[in-house]
């Protein structure tokens, strides 16, 4: 963890922490429960753990780590579909490196590759298209995933493939969209969140207006936040200030990158290429209406799902996984029954342990957790005894 | 994947297809600049721009100070090498 003196602007960081401490005392907290603020984006989760931001905040503020890591919320059935596509004899399956180790029900893409499937890591969908040009006799499938941040890149690549008339390229589309999942979390019966830190780079594409309903209908403040530790502190301060003043608004701490209207070219490309699916399955969260996109009918020939048959099965997560509860902020990562024992970054059971943006991997890496102590307490709770002392983050 | 990486546009190689070459921490790579181009800022005007790149697409113009701060953040988060490494994954994938 980094200490406040190591912040790029320690004086500003200290002042923010001081202001947050003062403001928090002015916010009513029934039963003394902490204020829960959710950072939606996995990039924020990573920064928060790396810089020990939770430890700088007063105890009355708890940061809940949201579903904004696309690799983490990819359901097992979709990973199985990837493996099935990759094992197709004539297919070159292309993927971002992050997705290689996500466990499927039988194997991960990494294991499929080790067993002989032609799986190749690419940096960009453009690389996948270049592979298709270079190998006209092979079928190149690009595994598209991510929120609105990466959606435009897939859309523009599809448009390029269409313009060039490339016939051996297709996209296995797993893009998801941020607003429906936030709405699903807000609608969940165990909701106890008081405010949100909004995702920075998704908002660079979609702008700030799509979040307005959160303030209007759900009466929760949201502040779009940058990724620097000081950005995150400042955004927490802005949310807390709204709560102290009894306001619920969408504010933009990251104005230097996030225009109100988003990115016009990117949004146009998204709308030309994609349409909403009726529903999409999320690991740990279940099915969420209109939360994913697929290629429009006019691009069906570039859609791997329509071109190849994929099993498309719904596979339940292993029983011992509690990723859903962690994602909704109901339990902390180290409270999961298998955290640090059966589930570690080397042997991930759940996907939150795979990417550095997943809450479990971040806690494991930076959380300074005493694993033996965590396991002892978990067993004590399981045995119905009162734990001694509290787990630390 | 979500934080992106800053780079500086060195040349615009194919204005029609919005392709440019960037320098990212001393490494060169072709990217697509469609999302940062408009009537007021045509491709030719992009040379020298600092941009934030996600999976090979420039998604926003940023100022140099922002670019340097983000590079430093990525180094501290230990993601810089992974990003640069990923940018070259394709050369090996061919
Ligand atoms: S420890 Fe593993 S199984 Fe448990 S919530 Fe985290 S990722 Fe999921």
pLDDT tens for each residue of A74-114 = 888 999 999 999 999 999 999 998 899 888 889 999 999 99
Average pLDDT over residues A26-35: 90
Looking at residue B81, which CATH number applies to its domain? 2.30.30.140
Q: Which residues contact A91 (CB under 8 A, 6 or more apart)?
A: A85, A118, A138, A139, A140, A141, A308
pTM: 0.90
Contact call for residues A340 and A374 (beta carbons, < 8 A) = yes
Report pLDDT for A389: 43
pLDDT tens for each residue of A167-181 = 999 999 999 999 999
ipTM of the complex: 0.91
How many Å apart are CA A26 and CA A29, to the nearest integer?
9
For a substitution probing ligand 1, which of A67, A321, A337, A340 has the most ligand atoms within 8 Å of its CB? A321
Question: Residue B67 belongs to what domain range?
Answer: 5-93
Task: Tell me: pLDDT of A304 over 70.
Answer: yes
Nearest to A66 by CA among A171, A210, A191: A191
Nearest to A146 by CA among A193, A195, A99, A114: A99
Average pLDDT over residues A130-151: 96
A389 CB neighbour count, 10 Å cutoff: 7
A158 CB neighbour count, 10 Å cutoff: 27
Strands of chain A, DSSP E: 35-41, 61-68, 91-95, 119-121, 139-146, 169-175, 195-198, 222-224, 250-252, 274-276, 279-282, 286-289, 293-295
Whether the CB of B87 is below 8 Å from some CB of chain A: the reply is yes
Domains with residue ranges and CATH for chain A: 1-317 (3.40.50.11740), 323-382 (no CATH)
**Beta strands at A91-95 and A119-121: parallel, antiparallel or unpaired:** parallel
Task: Tell me: pLDDT of B92 over 60.
Answer: no
Q: Which of residues 39-68 of A touch B (CB under 8 A)?
A: 41-43, 46-47, 50, 68
| Closest-CA distance of chain A to residue B13, Å | 15
Report how many domains make up chain B.
1
Nearest C-alpha in B relative to A51: B77
Whether the CB of A129 is below 8 Å from some CB of chain B: the reply is no
């Amino acid at each position: 963890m980094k200490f406040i003196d190591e912040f790029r602007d320690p004086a500003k960081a200290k002042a923010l922490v001081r202001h947050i401490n003062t403001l928090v005392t002015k916010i009513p907290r029934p039963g003394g429960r902490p204020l829960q603020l959710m950072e939606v984006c996995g990039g924020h989760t990573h920064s928060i753990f790396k810089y020990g931001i939770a430890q700088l905040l007063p105890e009355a503020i708890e940061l809940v780590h949201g579903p904004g890591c696309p690799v983490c919320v990819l359901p097992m059935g979709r990973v199985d579909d990837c493996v099935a596509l990759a094992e197709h004899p004539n297919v070159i399956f292309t993927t971002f490196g992050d997705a290689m180790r996500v466990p499927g029900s039988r194997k991960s893409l990494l294991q499929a590759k080790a067993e002989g499937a032609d799986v190749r890591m690419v940096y960009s969908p453009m690389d996948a298209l270049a592979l298709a040009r270079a190998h006209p006799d092979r079928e190149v499938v690009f595994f598209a995933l991510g929120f609105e941040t990466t959606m435009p890149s897939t859309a523009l690549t599809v448009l390029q493939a269409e313009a060039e008339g490339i016939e051996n390229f297709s996209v296995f589309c797993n893009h998801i969209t941020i607003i429906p999942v936030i709405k699903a979390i807000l609608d969940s019966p165990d909701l106890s969140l008081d405010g949100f830190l909004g995702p920075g780079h998704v908002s660079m594409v979609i702008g700030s207006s799509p979040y307005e309903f959160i303030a209007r209908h759900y009466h929760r403040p949201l502040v779009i936040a940058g990724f620097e530790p000081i950005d995150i502190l400042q955004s927490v301060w802005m949310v807390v200030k709204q709560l102290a003043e009894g306001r619920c608004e969408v504010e933009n701490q990251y104005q230097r990158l996030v225009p109100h209207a988003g990115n016009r070219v990117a949004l146009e490309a998204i709308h030309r290429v994609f349409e909403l699916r009726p529903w999409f399955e999320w690991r740990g969260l279940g099915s969420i209406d209109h939360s994913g996109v697929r290629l429009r009918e006019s691009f069906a020939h570039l859609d791997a799902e329509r071109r190849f048959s994929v099993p498309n099965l719904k596979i339940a997560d292993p029983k011992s996984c509690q990723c859903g509860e962690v994602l909704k902020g109901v339990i902390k990562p180290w409270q999961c029954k298998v955290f640090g024992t059966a589930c570690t970054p080397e042997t991930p059971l759940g996907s939150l342990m795979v990417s550095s943006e997943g809450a479990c991997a971040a806690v494991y890496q930076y959380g300074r957790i005493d694993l033996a102590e965590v396991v002892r307490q978990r067993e004590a709770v399981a045995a119905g005894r009162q734990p001694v002392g509290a787990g630390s983050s | 994947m979500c934080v992106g990486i800053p780079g500086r546009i060195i040349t615009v190689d194919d204005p029609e297809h919005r392709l440019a070459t960037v320098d990212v921490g001393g490494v060169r790579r072709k990217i697509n600049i469609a999302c940062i181009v408009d009537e007021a800022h045509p491709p030719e005007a992009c040379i020298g721009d600092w941009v934030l790149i996600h999976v090979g697409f420039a998604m926003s113009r940023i100022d140099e100070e922002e670019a340097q701060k983000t590079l430093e953040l990525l180094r501290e988060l230990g993601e810089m090498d992974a990003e640069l490494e990923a940018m070259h994954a394709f050369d090996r994938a061919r």
